[in-house]
C-alpha cells in the first residue's frame, strides 16, 4: 500500500537553529500538506501546496516557515529560527487529484523538540 514517509522521526534542535523536515508524498498525489500537533492537542493545519506553490496557509505559518518541493518526490518544511513553542509533532499529508473522496494520507510524523 502506498504511504507517505517522513524523516527524521525525531529531531532535537537548539532554539534559534534552522530545521528542515522532509517528506516523500505518495507518488501520484498532487496536493501536499503540513500539519502540526502539539502533544495531546488537536491537529493544526499549517500549509497546503499544489502545482509548485502554496495554495493556502494558516496564521501559524509565518515568515519563519517555508515549504519547498525541490525535486519530483520530496516536500520539505523549513523553520528558520526555531522557538520553544515550535516543539510539536509535524505531520506531512498528501491527497490525490481531488475528485470525489479526498482522503488525506498522513506520514508517521517528525517529533521536533526545541531546547
| Residue 41 DSSP label | S
Asked if 65 is part of the footprint of another protein (rule: CB under 8 A), the reply reads no
Q: Are 18 and 82 in contact (CB under 8 A)?
A: yes
C-beta of residue 43 within 8 angstroms of C-beta of residue 91: yes
- Binder to another protein among 11, 45, 60, 96 (CB under 8 A)? 45
To another protein, the closest distance from the beta carbon of 12 in angstroms equals 18
Please state the closest distance from residue 15 (CB atom) to another protein, in A. Answer: 26
Compare residues 76 and 111 and give the one whose CB is closer to another protein.
111
Nearer to another protein, 8 or 16 (CB): 8
Under the criterion CB under 8 A, does residue 13 sit at the interface with another protein? no
Verify binding: residue 12, another protein, rule CB under 8 A: no
Phi, psi values for residue 3, rounded to 5°: -145, 160
Interaction between residue 20 and another protein (CB under 8 A): no
Restricted to residues 71-100, the positions that interact with another protein (CB under 8 A) are 91, 95, 98
Tell me the backbone φ, ψ of residue 11, rounded to 5 degrees: -130, 125
Amino acid at each position: 500500500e502506498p504511504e507517505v514517509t517522513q524523516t527524521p522521526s525525531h529531531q532535537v534542535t537548539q532554539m534559534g537553529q534552522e530545521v528542515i523536515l522532509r517528506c516523500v508524498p505518495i507518488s501520484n498525489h498532487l496536493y501536499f500538506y503540513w500539519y502540526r500537533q502539539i502533544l495531546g492537542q488537536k491537529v493544526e493545519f499549517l500549509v497546503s501546496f499544489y502545482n509548485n506553490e502554496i495554495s493556502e496557509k494558516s496564521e501559524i505559518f509565518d515568515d519563519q516557515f517555508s515549504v519547498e518541493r525541490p525535486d519530483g518526490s520530496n516536500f520539505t518544511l523549513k523553520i528558520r529560527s526555531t522557538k520553544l513553542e515550535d516543539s510539536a509533532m509535524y505531520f506531512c499529508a498528501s491527497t490525490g487529484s481531488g475528485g470525489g473522496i479526498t482522503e488525506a494520507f498522513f506520514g508517521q510524523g517528525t517529533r521536533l523538540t526545541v531546547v
